[in-house]
Structure 1
Amino acid sequence: MTRPELSRATGLGRTVITQRVNQALQAGLVVEGQPAPSTGGRPSRVLRIVPGRAVVLAAVFGATQVRAALADLDGTLLGEYRSAWDIDAGPDASLTALYEASAQLLVPEYEDRLWAVCVGVPGPVDFARGVAVQPPIMSGWDGFPLRDRLEDHFRVPAWVDNDANLMALGAWSEEHATSGEHVLLVKASTGIGLGLISGGRLHRGARGAAGDLGHTIVAEESRHRCRCGKYGCLEALAGGWALTRDARAAGLAGRSPFLADRLARPGTALSVEDVLDGCSEGDAVCVELVSRAGELIGAQLATLVSVLNPTTVFVSGLLARAGETLRGPLTEVVQRRSLPLATDELVITEVGLAGREGVMGAATLAVDELLHPELLGQWLPQGAPGSGVRHRLLNGSSASIM
């Protein structure tokens, strides 16, 4: 944006804006671009984040995969990595996998320009301490000093957050011009999670447990035990691993020739991808399983829509690949069960970022924290943030973080 636009956005006067912009220009963080379209008088130049100055490492662990990326300070992804991974392998093995991924991304061109790291995990996180707290899955992760280990290895500031929070932040950072300031993101994958942005700020709750939608009870009488140990959780009925369980039973019972054929493959276990393939092939059982998952997720989401009144609900994760088969029933239930005032302008849509919203959100968070005034004042005099930068700001702090 231009200097006048900065002034209007911040409420600061022209003199202060000029001083701050000049500091950013001198520090090599901002560069002047082409003149903006003139509205009369001397045209202002567009200010942009300097490309190529530094990179941040963004990574998100799901239950069954890890995705990592390098990003420029303006959010441009410079390299990506994706691999299958079992989060229950534990934190030490997971960090080893992350270090291997980072070694592939941090080629000589970038390795000396790493300024920050942000990692997402599929469970509640104490953001101030950078540790997972009582995760329903993730065996061995409770209280593990993940942020400290990341900082010791990479020698730069690091942050840790819940994966659905980062996905919500990534989707919102790309789409906020049309999505509005109040956004929910449902992650329907192996597990089920939710990220919440309210008033343009990410909401984590008092203990980092906000958004743990998958472990809300939907059927107390259910005999299906969830991975968290309780019975009747949403995830135990509508998560990807639950659909795989039910698809296997249907295939063995002969109710689905498609699934029976997949089960007959030697040496290959049935997966949720098989269920999604069945949807694409029009298999009635697979369509029924995914549609029922959409209905169950929509029923839980309807209460949140009435209570929180979002402008947009993003549907993301592996199950979102089913498209209308999942989103249609989910939307219908939300519309039917939520308050009319909360739904008359509500948009429910897929993210459309090819699964990159998590790493994009992690990169956004890292850059936002690096440029927060309190942290910026620590490292700017020395030219770059290093391991000596302390950033344990109790409120999480950045403009997009609550």
Structure 2
Amino acid sequence: MSEKFIIGVDIGGTTVKQALIKEDGTIVEKWEIPTNKINNGTQIIPDIAASIQKKMLQRNLSKEHLLGIGVGAPGPVNMQTGILYTAVNIGWEKPVALRDELQQLTGLSVVIENDANVAALGEMWKGAGDGARDVVCVTLGTGVGGGVIVNGDIAHGIKGAAGEIGHITSVPVDGYYCNCGKYGCLETVASATGVSRLAIDELKKNNEPSILRETLHNTGHLSAKAIFDAVNQGDKAAAKIVDQLTFYLGLALANLGSALNPEKIVIGGGVSKAGETLLTPLRAKFKQYAFPTVAESTTLEIATLGNDAGVIGAAWLIKYKH
């Protein structure tokens, strides 16, 4: 067999997504295993190794058929040393020698990178980035993640924390508390939980009739989907909430745009499923706040790879950083 493959791994808080990928970025097969957080996540790396070895046996692949393993991990990493500094949400509170341990267990080359960065690389390579070499990716999920690609490569910064878009201060006075220890981060108002929080505050402020009030009363919570659905049904309170969200997000992206002038800003994660209901007001805010040249030359797009962005970006690491 002359064709070579890459294993892409995306370590998440609930599952570890894995895929067998061709050199051109095409997924051959994908699978996942639970993220075992017991005992400070000591079993996670051995579990990944065992899962890869099992797949190699199933497909009759030897080490010679594989170029290596690319890994996206949820925390700041040092690509040179292969160390992940910390990933509290999976139990890794101290630095973990992720690359070396996985190499030792599998006998394959390993390259590691932050998970938001690999999602950005995936979108640049095979998704909405469409081959653009200057791309900013923002993931609006439970939190807000980000990756900054300059001239076809990830910007890391001095300690791997470049691209922490979710922690741009967006509400400088009286902002919500963020898990990072600061107040008023973009994550507190633009993540799925942030949008819900904005909505509940808006409903407390006035007594206007709203579909959302009824949804909150019946279910006890408001999802981003429920808010965007209400906008599409002409709900005034929901429209105000989305206006607020796109103000915070549009301002942050405009400032990033003015600093970097990327060809594309790609928006992914659960909140992005709102599509044009999010994108239309967001583009208007971006245009309002960005430097005019940036407003004309940088486009905002919805991510296209969904959950596959991480494993595809991880494969890119092996192809181009190995």
Same-fold call, TM cutoff 0.5: yes
Compare 65-74 and 283-292 and name the one that shifted more: 283-292
- The residue number in structure 2 matching 1:332 is 284
2:225 is the counterpart of 1:276: yes
Does the Cα contact within 8 Å between 1:296 and 1:330 map onto a contact in 2? no
Pairing 1:257–2:208 present: no
Rounded Cα–Cα distance in structure 2 between residues aligned with 1:93 and 1:244: 34
Closer, same or farther in 2 for the Cα pair 1:177/1:335, shift >3 Å? closer
Structure whose CA Rg is larger = 1
2:137 maps to a residue whose letter is L
Matches within 5 A, 1:133-148: 133=85, 139-148=91-100
Taking the TM superposition and a 5 Å limit, the aligned residue runs for 1:28-177 are 53-63=3-13, 65-82=15-32, 90-95=40-45, 98-99=48-49, 102=52, 105-112=55-62, 113-133=65-85, 139-174=91-126
Instruction: Report the Cα offset of residue 117 of structure 1.
Output: 1.2
Query: Residue 310 of structure 1 corresponds to which residue in structure 2?
Result: 262
TM-score (norm 1): 0.67
Q: 1:89 to 1:185 in 2, by over 3 A?
A: farther
Kindly provide the CA deviation profile for residues 324-379 of structure 1, in whole angstroms up to 9, marking residues without a partner as x: 23222322221111111112122111121233122111111112234xxxxxxxxx
Contact between 2:128 and 2:304, CA under 8 Å: does it hold in 1? no
Alignment-derived partner of residue 292 in structure 1: 244
C-alpha distance in structure 2 between counterparts of 1:95 and 1:289, whole Å:
42
Q: Deviations over 1:158-184 (max 9, x none)?
A: 111111211121111125995532111
Q: Which amino acid aligns with 1:361?
A: G
Q: CA deviation at 1:84?
A: 7.2
Distance 2:188 2:271 in 1: 15
Name which structure has the greater RCO, CA cutoff 8 Å, separation 6+. 2
Instruction: Indicate if the aligned counterparts of 1:63 and 1:190 stay in contact, CA closer than 8 A.
Output: no
> How is 1:225-244 mapped onto 2 (pairs within 5 angstroms)?
225-244=177-196
Question: Which runs of 5 or more structure 1 residues have no equivalent in the other structure?
Answer: 1-27, 29-49, 264-269, 371-402
* TM-score normalised by structure 2 residue count: 0.82
Q: Do the aligned partners of 1:80 and 1:105 also contact (CA within 8 Å) in 2? A: no
Cα distance between partner residues in 2 of 1:343 and 1:249: 31
In the TM superposition, what is the alpha-carbon distance from 1:107 to its structure 2 partner? 4.9
Alignment partners' CA distance in 1, 2:175 and 2:8: 39
**In terms of mean alpha carbon deviation, does 304-313 or 127-136 score higher?**
127-136
Q: Which runs of 5+ in 2 are unaligned?
A: none
Q: What CA distance in whole angstroms lies between the structure 2 residues aligned with 1:215 and 1:89?
A: 29
Q: Which amino acid aligns with 2:276?
A: E
What SS does the aligned partner of 1:95 have? Answer: helix
State whether residues 225 and 232 of structure 1, in contact with CA within 8 Å, keep that contact through their aligned partners in structure 2. Answer: yes
Structure 1 residue 92, shift from structure 2 partner: 2.3
> Is the CA contact (8 Å cut-off) linking 2:124 and 2:130 kept in structure 1?
no
How far apart, in 1, do the equivalents of 2:228 and 2:30 lie?
29
* Letter of the 1:57 counterpart: I
